[in-house]
């Protein structure tokens, strides 16, 4: 019976879905350190994580039987994708499932900060009745600047415009503007024109320290700032300086460079004493609806890879979508992207008079992947010959 390990309190639907398809499933609430993860992966075929568990090359080297990793979240920067590909480990994520949840939180943050709800709440809790319109604004007619116009940024654009906001966006890639959104040629242009700025960039290394002192300095007087993307993107010390100087009127931060491994751990930030500040514990995608959707989506990708050899929506392997096996067995051959490997696979099968019922090949970068359905079950000698083809990373045989 194949075994799956799900960490970080992944939605129970994921565990049940895998159990329903024959997996033995172990679940854990918290994240694991590198050494703890290596120990826990003994005998594990599929691993499910969220954003707090890091899968390094050392982990992958220590557990060569690991077949696939499911990131039950948007990001995959917590996994060494290159090392995983070279180890023959497929990695999947959920790039769309919690988009709406993040967007709704950002809309909520914008309205609350514009109305100075955090400041008023703080005053009320401390016995001060401060009924004043000073510094409070409607969002209608204000300009929202969106940095990163991907799945989240573009959907936020639509909802913000529905609230009557004028939307600007900046992205390093060419993106189609939705509705009346306006593309800015430079980041500085967006910052200088926006009443609210929100970041939605990915976890690539080039985004580390992306938004700091220079960027805050270009923002408009009394603008608000929101980060629900990655903790390492923003210099929070610089943010605090601009809040303390009265340059910015408020901020909402959902992600931090260093975060606790599990719920209930202590957490401290210098931003806690700011007046008009919203601090949330990385809950942008944490709604019951989103977590259920993610659990269903990623568990299905893992199951399809295990049972059908399908790499559809894998983030580190060539993508091949497979249907039911059209032969006696299916042979999934992952290899270095070298000339002649497909010919070598077919030559080995041909020499044993094994007919090919269906075949698909995909390549991406340094990795190649060929899935072959054969009419008869190969013997051990044939399988050994396939596995011995130079450049082979991993070979799996899936029974019909």
H/E element, 84: helix 81-86
Q: Where are the beta strands (DSSP E) in the chain?
A: 3-6, 24-27, 46-49, 68-71, 90-92, 143-147, 166-170, 182-183, 196-199, 224-227, 250-253, 277-279, 329-336, 356-364, 367-374, 392-399
- In terms of CATH architecture, what is 318-400? 2-Layer Sandwich (3.30)
Task: Strand 166-170: give its sheet, edge to edge.
Answer: 182-183, 166-170, 143-147, 196-199, 224-227, 250-253, 277-279
CATH code, residues 99-279: 3.40.50.720
pLDDT score recorded for residue 400: 67
pLDDT score recorded for residue 30: 87
Every domain of the chain with CATH number 3.30.70.260 lies at: 318-400
Count of residues in the chain = 400
Known catalytic membership, residue 138: no
| Claim: this prediction has a pTM higher than 0.75 | yes
Known catalytic membership, residue 400: no
CA 206-209-213 angle, 5° bins: 135
Listed in sequence order, the residues at least 6 apart from 387 whose beta carbon sits closer than 8 Å to its beta carbon are: 395
pLDDT score recorded for residue 96: 86
Q: How far apart are CA 230 and CA 227, in angstroms?
A: 7
SS (H, E, C) 99-116: HHHHHHHHHHHHHHHHCC
Known catalytic membership, residue 247: no
Every domain of the chain with CATH number 3.40.50.720 lies at: 1-97+287-317, 99-279
pLDDT score recorded for residue 56: 97
For 231-286, what is each residue's pLDDT tens digit?
Answer: 999 999 999 999 999 999 999 999 999 998 888 889 999 999 999 999 999 999 98
Listed in sequence order, the residues at least 6 apart from 80 whose beta carbon sits closer than 8 Å to its beta carbon are: 55, 56, 57, 60
Q: How far apart are CA 311 and CA 139, in angstroms?
A: 43
| Tally of CB atoms within 10 A around 172 | 11
Sign of CA dihedral 157, 160, 164, 167: negative
| Upper half-sphere CA count for residue 217 (Cβ side, 13 Å) | 3
DSSP class of 391: T
CA distances in angstroms from 119 to 123, 294, 373, listed in the order given: 6, 34, 64
* Active-site option among 50, 116, 200, 282: 282
The tokens for 375 are 């009419």
Contact (CB, 8 A) for 15 and 27: yes
pLDDT score recorded for residue 263: 83
CATH code, residues 1-97+287-317: 3.40.50.720
* Active-site option among 100, 166, 230, 333: 230
Q: Quick one: which of 252, 222, 3, 238 has its CA closest to 117?
A: 252
Which stretches of the chain drop beneath a pLDDT of 70? Answer: 400
DSSP 211-231: B-HHHHHTSPTT-EEEE-S-G
* Active-site option among 24, 104, 259, 292: 259
């Amino acid at each position: 019976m194949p075994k799956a390990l799900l960490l970080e309190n992944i939605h129970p639907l994921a565990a049940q879905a895998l159990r329903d398809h024959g997996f033995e499933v172990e679940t854990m609430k918290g994240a694991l350190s590198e050494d703890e993860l290596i120990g826990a992966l003994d005998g594990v075929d599929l691993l499910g994580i969220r954003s707090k568990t890091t899968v390094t090359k050392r982990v992958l080297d220590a557990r060569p039987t690991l077949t696939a990793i499911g990131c039950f979240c948007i990001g995959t920067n917590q996994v060494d994708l290159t090392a995983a590909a070279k180890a023959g480990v497929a990695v999947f994520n959920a790039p769309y499932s919690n988009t709406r949840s993040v967007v709704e939180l950002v809309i909520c943050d914008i309205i609350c900060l514009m109305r100075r709800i955090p400041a008023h709440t703080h005053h009320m809790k401390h016995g001060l009745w401060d009924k004043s319109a000073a510094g409070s604004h409607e969002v209608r007619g204000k300009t929202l600047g969106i940095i990163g116009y991907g799945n989240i940024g573009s959907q936020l654009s639509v909802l913000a415009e529905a609230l009557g906001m004028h939307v600007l966006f900046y992205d390093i890639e060419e993106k189609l503007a939705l509705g009346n959104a306006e593309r800015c040629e430079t980041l500085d242009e967006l910052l200088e024109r926006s009443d609210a700025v929100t970041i939605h960039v990915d976890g690539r290394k080039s985004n580390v320290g992306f938004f700091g002192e220079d960027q805050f300095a270009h923002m408009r007087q009394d603008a608000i700032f929101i980060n629900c993307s990655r903790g390492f993107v923003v210099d929070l010390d610089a943010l605090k300086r601009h809040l303390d100087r009265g340059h910015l009127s408020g901020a909402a931060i959902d992600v931090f460079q260093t975060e606790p491994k599990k719920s209930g751990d202590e957490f401290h930030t210098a931003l806690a004493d700011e007046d008009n500040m919203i601090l949330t514990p990385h809950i942008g995608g944490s709604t019951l609806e989103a977590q259920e959707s993610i659990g269903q989506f990623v568990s299905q990708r893992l199951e399809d890879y295990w049972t059908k050899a399908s790499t559809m929506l894998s983030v580190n392997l060539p993508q091949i979508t497979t249907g039911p096996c059209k032969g006696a067995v299916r042979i999934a051959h992952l290899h270095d992207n070298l000339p002649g490997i497909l010919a070598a696979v077919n030559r080995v099968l041909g020499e044993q008079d094994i007919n090919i019922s269906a075949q698909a090949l995909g390549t991406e970068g340094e990795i190649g992947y060929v899935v072959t359905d054969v009419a008869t079950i190969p013997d051990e000698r044939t399988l050994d010959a396939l596995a011995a083809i130079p450049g082979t990373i991993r070979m799996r045989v899936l029974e019909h």
